[in-house]
Chains A and B, each alone.
Chain A
């Protein structure tokens, strides 16, 4: 079974802090994604990566950056967390049949 793990289920940070969310997949998938999930808005794509060291902006990249130094790991970085970044963050990886496999999510609260 494909496994996608995220470093934390719950995280509480203060405004202005630098926040790292990490995601690891164990199926050698080339494509990985970071989404933000908010009630009534569904999932919105923040960034995606189709290979090591490659990244592309999604629909809402402002205030975020990403890093992919190894194939299995895709990190989302909030350079200076703000209260409007309080949300559920979902990581996913994609197989060759275009199915996406999701991690359990990180619920981030910025106070």
Chain B
């Protein structure tokens, strides 16, 4: 069985500051993928960043980076230099290679950005 846990229902950050969203992914599979998706208000869900579990290096995409701690089952998302457009629901998701690529999603973290 796989579980994805996002323990922060809501977070808030000041514009230009840094914020970290937490996620834990528990699976019995040794090879899997992890994703962070962003869903702005009334807009389409889009991929923010992905991490393959076999990769040692943490993924980065511009202002977004992850801290993947495999042993701790932790997969946090750091947003640097936060912008007003970063306000959204953020979903953590994971999927094992053996499970046909189906993703399990966390319940989401609502991020507010204060000007």
Residues of A within 8 A of B (CB): 31, 33, 35, 40-45, 48, 50, 56, 58, 90, 94, 98-105
9-residue interface stretch from B14-22, B72-80, B100-108: B100-108
Q: Which residues of A contact B105 (CB under 8 A)?
A: 35, 42-44
B84 within 8 A of A: no
Please determine whether B106 and A105 come into contact, CB atoms closer than 8 angstroms: no
The A-B contact count (CB < 8 A) is: 46
Asked whether A41 and B107 contact (CB < 8 A) given A94-B101, A98-B95, A105-B44, the answer is yes
Give the contacts of B42-90 with A (CB-CB under 8 A): 43-47, 50
Using C-beta atoms within 8 Å of the partner chain, give the interface range for chain B: 20 to 34
- Give chain A residues whose Cβ lies under 8 Å from the Cβ of B100: 31, 48, 50, 56
Residue of B nearest to A104 (CB): B44
Q: Are B102 and A45 in contact (CB under 8 A)?
A: yes
Given contacts A90-B45, A99-B47, A99-B50, A42 and B107 within 8 Å (CB-CB): yes
A48 lies within 8 A of B91 (CB)? no
